[in-house]
Amino acid sequence: MGGITMKKNNLIISCLLVLYLIGANESYGQNPLISHIYAADPSAHVWPADTNKLWLYTSHDVPGTNHHATMFDYHVFSTSDLVNWTDYGRVLSVDDVDWAITWAWAIDAVYRNEKYYLIFCMMEKATGIFRTGLAVSDVPQGPFTNIGFIQGVENGQDPALFVDDDNTPYLYWGGGAHCYGARLTDDLKSIVQESKVELTQQLFEVFEGPWLHKYQGKYYLSYPGLPNGKWPEEMYYAISEKPLGPFKYMGKYIPEFKGQAGTNHGSIVQYKSQWIAFHHSAWLSDGNGANRNLMADYLYYKPDGTIKPIIPDSSGLSKGKPTNCIIFLEAENAKPAGGRLEGTQVESSFPGYSGKGYVTGFDVRHDYVEVLAQVAKDMKANLKIRYSANADFKADVLVGVLMLDGWSGTKFKKTNGWEEINLGEVQLKAGDNKIHFSSLNNVDIKIDYFKLEPINKLK
């Protein structure tokens, strides 16, 4: 009898352990890929300057919304191991684009002529139609500066840019059950009008969001489609011998799956010899298709070049290994990234800073720098600041409306060059969070960056 009881207890313990591990995997698995922010429409790239790093350019959903008209800005993420990620904050918003009024939908990016270009779509004030915008930066993480929209593209929703082996750029776009492609001029500012083709009839059930990649000399056009004209979207693909077709429809590579959003949109990229399909779902928001999250799954080709269908699961790319994503906000990018500088300025004469400079000039009490952090849900994070100071000082550090250390101010020590300090756990609210730093003493202070490390806890 005792032996039976022991076996029964062992069985119960084993079952509980399995359930615990399943729970841990659900909380810490790699899908959703990044869990602190609602993001969608991932455009994945590996740039020639650093082939060890993978970049994602994404749209951003506002927490609590039930539609896509509130989409206002874009984010950039990077990783070197598919486990540890960095969110660089807002890199472009509707406020930065003089011709736009709303609807910051899907984007892409390209490296060309030693610059990084963001290809985006927003609604134009003057016409009320989508335009395909162009913004530029000299670093892959931005922020990006608007330089207008691509000429010759009408209703330019969901743009994707492909550069062929001969360095010829091509643009693909479409929405509302239409899809187009065209060759671009070398400066990317307009399409070559005579090259424009409508691909709609070649792409079974196409609805929006085209993406082109090349595999073994053939061109693969992937896109979200509506099966029998009904939602939710599924991911299809077609193959051609030429970048502008004709394309032959091949089938679905991501069929409908549990917990997906009504939409899907993705990209396919080769990273460290492995092919990956990036897309989005509604796993983080319990099925709210307007609050989407990033997803990633390995993609495999059959010997005949067709794609094996993907069934997304929580293990993702690392088969359940925990993922981390820090929010990394360069102080010098405060203003273009949704923050502010008041009484302070950006400089770059003091060596050892990260990014393109630092913020200094805290000459008068309450001169400040303010950066923007955006998150999906209320959450806790450790706040770190990298700074340099020639004497001890006090500062007001605010996270949202809460001031660290109250009216007495936070104490900072004199440094020997640059130092990163941990100010401890802070509370972030769903949506926009302003991180504010202002000196209470006339000290030579330089602020390099702010870093937020989300604190993950099992539920």
Q: Please say whether the beta carbons of 268 and 213 come within 8 A.
A: yes
In this structure, the answer to whether residues 16 and 120 fall within a common structural domain is: no
Q: Judge if 307 and 347 occupy the same domain.
A: no
Domain boundary, last residue among 322, 345, 375: 322
Residues 242 and 117 in one domain: yes
List the domain range (segments joined by +) for residue 4. Answer: 1-28
Same domain, 77 and 181: yes
Residue 459 belongs to some domain of the structure: no
Same domain, 192 and 225: yes
Please, are residues 330 and 338 in contact by the beta-carbon 8 Å criterion? no
| Residues known to be catalytic | 41, 208
Asked if 265 contacts 236 with a C-beta cutoff of 8 angstroms, the reply is no
Q: What's the rounded Cα separation, in Å, for the pair 44 and 54?
A: 7
What CATH number is given to the structural domain containing 46? 2.115.10.20
Distance between CA atoms of residues 23 and 437, nearest Å: 39
Residues 6 and 81 in one domain: no
Q: How far apart are CA 239 and CA 440, in angstroms?
A: 63
Residue 251 token pair = 């089938």
Query: Quick one: 281 and 420 in the same domain?
Result: no
Determine the Cα angle at 49 with ends 48 and 51, to 5°. 60
Does residue 426 form part of some domain? yes
Residue with tokens 């910051």: 104
Task: Say yes or no: 153 and 86 in one domain.
Answer: yes
3-state SS string over 414-442? CCCCCEEEEEEEEEECCEEEEEEEEECCC
Q: Is residue 299 part of a domain?
A: yes
User: Do both 115 and 255 map to the same domain?
Assistant: yes
Do residue 170 and residue 243 come from a single domain?
A: yes
**286, 341: one domain:** no
Enter the pTM of the model.
0.93
Give the pLDDT of the chain (459 residues) as one tens digit per residue. Answer: 333 333 334 433 333 333 333 333 333 358 999 999 999 999 999 999 999 999 999 999 999 999 999 999 999 999 999 999 999 999 999 999 999 999 999 999 999 999 999 999 999 999 999 999 999 999 999 999 999 999 999 899 999 999 999 999 999 999 999 999 999 999 999 999 999 999 999 999 999 999 999 999 999 999 999 999 999 999 999 999 999 999 999 999 999 999 999 999 999 999 999 999 999 999 999 999 999 999 999 999 999 999 999 999 998 897 777 889 999 999 999 999 999 999 999 999 999 999 999 999 999 999 999 999 999 999 999 999 999 999 999 999 999 999 999 999 999 999 999 999 999 999 999 999 999 999 998 899 999 999 999 996 533
Q: How many domains does the chain have?
A: 3
* CATH code, 360: 2.60.120.260
Domain check: are 422 and 306 in the same one? no
